[in-house]
Structure 1
Amino acid sequence: MKILTLNTHSWIEEAPIEKFELLLDHLFTEDYDVIALQEVNQRLDAPCIKFPMTFCQVEHQVSLRADNFAHCLVERLREKGLSYYFGWQMSHIGYDIFEEGNAILAKKPFVAEAITVSPQVDPHDYRTRVNLVATFVTSSPKKIASCHFSWWETKTKGFAVEWEHFVQRCVSNSQDVIVCGDFNNPALSEGYQQILESETLRDSYQLAKTKQGEATILKKIDGWEQNTTPLRIDYIFVPDKTVVTRYQRVLDGEHSPIVSDHFGIQIELEK
């Protein structure tokens, strides 16, 4: 199984159409089984469209708009001969003009669930966080999540609270879940250590038999304006005892073109 996670920063990057095309080419070439995307945007003023047959809705699904970044990827990949089921749900309003959320693309159909992990629920509050979970009926792993968490504040605010809510809803009741995304907590930080306190999850970077690349941001970006050093804040956490044959940083300007302010992570799991 081959999995990608990427914070797309979609439609916000300079030369967004060019970077969309570069990402599209990468996805087609790599032929991933599952793709977890964060900061998947659609403009508030874009027209709403009917849900495609391949769209996996969540309860209280927000309308899909014509420029939804995940939808555009899926449609273009289909034209090239690569078909995906996909789900998306809004988390909050971004930059005053976008409905921002998380998406999952998968070659197999799935049941989608949106999990609000933040105490905030107002979509106009950027602190509102809604993660997307795909449950597969006929394959393993049973669940894959695309997540975008807040920064560490204290043990009772921000990431710490969001992670505990997520664990209660998704991790504690499952021995077979892969958690992907932008965690906004650098490796070895308090937030990272909190994740590893879960007895069922391990960092795929640490488990990988072979690995290339580490940091997923190199300098200051939105949300990390004071950052001056390379950081690993994007992860794929896998069930304990998972065999990770390969871990590679991608879309980083070395192995493939840069398409976002984050680099992507690609892992391969033993079948």
Structure 2
Amino acid sequence: MIILTLNMNSHARDFRREELDKTIHFLAEYMRKNQVDIAALQECGQTSEAAHWQGEIPAGYHPCNSGIALKEDNAASLLAGVLAEAGQPYHWTWGGIKQGYGKYDEGLAIFSRRPIRETDFFTVSRQDSFDNWKTRKVLGVSVKLQKHIYWFYDVHLGWWQDEEEPFREQMQRLQEHIFCTEPAKNSVFPPGLCSCKIDYRTSDSDDALPEKKPCVLLMGDFNSPAHVHGEGYSMVKDLGWKDTWEIAETKDDGITVPGAIDGWENEKTRGMRIDYIWTDGEMRVLSSKVVFSGGEEPVISDHFGVAVEIEEYDS
């Protein structure tokens, strides 16, 4: 199974539609050529003032009830259309999170070659205003692979040292929502929002599944450099998550941000590893590779992507 995460920065500060079209083309070609099973995209957006999507939404769309309508330059819709035209249709979902730079609807998207069973979309920041650029949400999908259920969560969290919206609280809310600890049920989320995802038997069709909890993977931009100890990266590991880069049988340096980007202008290091794929269980990770870094693939964002090959459970 090949899974990919990429902060695609689709509607950058100096957004140009022709650049988005190139990004969509290269990303679709990579996903098709490498038979990517799951792709989690962050900063997958649209222009706020663009017209609503006209005509039929590309096949395979699963709404996540984010409350934000798809616009005509929505990066996820465009990618889904290109993939379908290339003969490789995907199941996909997109959720709007917040407005960026006062003119773009920033969102999260997940693409799956296998049918999506359920979607999950929830807030992890202190506040939930679409107009506040510090709003943070998480998008999840469940997929059945052979006889096992996987939950894939698309994540884009804030910074450790942000006093208004600290990473620690956001990560804790994420943890509580997925595993439905008492704070998530009682005080963190409105009634009914926490859906107890670890109790995965949600339909009659799942009766034949073995009595195993689902495998959960977190994918995305965590804004927490791996080389900084005692902050976000350390917290995620302390919560029991395993960094697939760390346990991969073959890997490269893992660097996903080579220089200064928004939010990291004062960073002195020559490169950071802040984009990750985490797993909550034991699994064999065959490889972890940085992609769209200017080598085999062109640079299409201010982040490089991460592609991981994982051995699927066979029972």
TM-score bracket for this pair, using the shorter chain length: over 0.9
The amino acid that maps onto 1:227 is: E
The aligned counterpart of 1:204 is 244
- Quick one: distance in 1 between partners of 2:80 and 2:111? 8
Query: 2:206 is matched with which residue?
Result: none
**C-alpha deviations, 1:88-113, integer Å up to 9, x for none?**
11110011111101100001222111
From 93, 105, 116, the counterpart of 1:87: 93
Q: Deviations over 1:131-183 (max 9, x none)?
A: 10102256545200111000112799511000000000114664520000000
> What does 1:63-102 align with in structure 2 at a 5 Å threshold?
63-102=69-108
Counterpart for residue 19 of structure 1: 23
Larger Rg: 2
Percent of aligned pairs with the same amino acid: 30
Aligned partner of 1:121 among 120, 124, 128: 128
Structure number with higher strand proportion: 1
Residues 211-244 of structure 1 show CA distances to partners (whole Å, capped at 9, x for unaligned) of: 1231110110111111232000000001331110
Measured at CA, do residues 227 and 65 of structure 1 come closer, stay the same or move farther in structure 2, by a change above 3 Å?
Answer: same
1:158-209 Cα offsets, whole Å, 9 max, x none, are 110000000001146645200000000000431111101122x200011101
> Could you state the TM-score of these two structures normalised by the residue count of structure 2?
0.81
- Tell me by how many angstroms 1:27 deviates: 2.0
Aligned ranges for residues 41-56 of structure 1 at < 5 Å? Answer: 41-49=45-53, 51-56=57-62
Higher alpha-carbon deviation: 148-157 or 81-90: 148-157
What is the TM-score when the length of structure 1 is the normalising length?
0.93
For the 8 Å contact 1:20–1:259, the answer to whether it is kept is no
* Alpha-carbon separation, structure 2, partners of 1:254 and 1:213: 14
How many residues in Structure 1 have an aligned counterpart in Structure 2? 270
SS in 2 for 1:166: helix
Give the one of 126, 146, 150 matched to 1:142. 150
- List 4+ stretches of structure 1 deviating above 6 A: none
Counterpart in 2 of 1:36? 40
Q: Which among 240, 252, 264 is matched to residue 293 of structure 2? A: 252
Shift, 1:60, TM fit: 4.4
User: Where do 5+ consecutive residues of structure 2 fail to align?
Assistant: 181-196, 199-212
Q: Distance in 2 between matches of 1:218 and 1:225?
A: 12
Q: Which residue of 2 aligns with 1:269?
A: 310
**Post-superposition offset of 1:260:** 0.3
Q: Secondary structure at the match of 1:104?
A: strand
**Aligned partners of 2:35 and 2:81: how far apart in 1?**
15
For the Cα contact (< 8 Å) 2:158–2:165, is it kept in 1?
no
Whether 1:214 aligns to 2:254 is yes
Shift of 1:20: 3.0
Q: Give the conservation status (yes or no) of the 8 Å contact 1:155–1:161.
A: no
Please identify, of 219-228 and 241-250, the stretch whose mean Cα deviation from structure 2 is larger. 219-228
Q: How does 1:168-183 map to 2 (within 5 A)?
A: 168-171=176-179, 174=198, 176-183=215-222
Paired position in structure 1 for 2:5: 5
Query: Partners in 2 of 1:257 and 1:213 — Cα distance?
Result: 18
Q: 2:278 & 2:131 partners in 1: Cα distance?
A: 29
2:172 equivalent among 139, 161, 164:
164
